[in-house]
Amino acid sequence: MGYAVEFRPSVLKNIQSLPKRDLVRIKKKIDDLSANLPDPATTKIKGNNTFHKIRSGDYRIIYEIHDDRLVILVVKIGHRKDVYKRLP
């Protein structure tokens, strides 16, 4: 059984400003993520946090895994140069 994907409201607002070509690639990556969750040990962001990341071209998708509810919460999507700044 796959995980359900939820988005923070700020992600939905930010995603509208992304280029269409990259948006299609990001959507496919999120769909793959919900069906086949990668190993959390390899996707974990360093530091004392609960965030994980996957790469989609020059963009990064930052998310949290909630195993108790089988939910992936997408926290932030952005260009790799500034996506790690000001994580919630």
pLDDT digits (tens, 9 = 90+) for 21-50: 999 999 999 999 988 989 989 999 999 999
pTM attached to this predicted model = 0.91
Percent of the chain clearing pLDDT 90 (strictly above): 82
Q: What are phi and psi of 58, to 5 degrees?
A: -90, 5
17, 58, 70, 75 alpha-carbon torsion, rounded to 10°: -50
* CATH of span 4-79: 3.30.2310.20
First-to-last C-alpha distance (Å) of the chain = 29
